[in-house]
Amino acid sequence: MTLLSTFADIFKSPIFISWALAIAGIVTLTAMSVPKLRATHISAADIQVTFQAPPIWLDTSLLFELQDVARLHLAETTVGREGLIQTAEAMMSTGWFTEVKQVQWMSNNHAIVDATFLVPYATIIDGNEEIFIDAQGRRLPKRDGIIVNPKYHFISIENTMFSKPTNPGILWNGEDIHAALKVLHLIYNKAWATQIQTIDLSSWSSDGSMTFTTSTPSRLKWGSAPEEERGLEALANDKIVRLNWLHTNFGRIDKGISADFDLTNTSEITIQ
d(CA 159, CA 232) in angstroms, rounded, equals 26
Among 59, 90, 117, where does a domain finish?
Answer: 117
Compute the mean pLDDT over every residue in the chain, rounded to the nearest whole number. 85
Question: Do 104 and 175 lie in a common domain?
Answer: no
Q: What is the pLDDT of residue 79?
A: 66
Q: What is the pLDDT of residue 108?
A: 82
Q: How much is the CA Rg of the chain, to the nearest whole Å? A: 32
Query: Domain of 59: which CATH number?
Result: 3.10.20.310
Whole-model pTM: value is 0.78
Q: Which of 167-171, 227-231, 237-241 has the highest mean pLDDT?
A: 237-241
At 11, is the secondary structure helix, strand, or coil? helix
Q: Reply yes or no on whether the pLDDT at 22 is more than 50.
A: no
For the segment 27-49, what is each residue's pLDDT rounded down to a tens digit? 333 223 333 333 456 788 889 99
Mean pLDDT within 3-7:
42
- Tens-digit pLDDT profile for residues 236-261: 999 999 999 999 999 999 999 999 99
Is the domain of 197 the same as that of 110? no
CATH number for position 145: 3.40.50
Give me the mean pLDDT over the 178-199 stretch.
96
For residue 15, the enclosing domain spans: 3-38
Residues 255 and 151 in one domain: yes
List, in sequence order, the alpha helices (H) in the chain.
Answer: 3-12, 14-38, 60-76, 81-92, 175-187, 204-207, 236-250
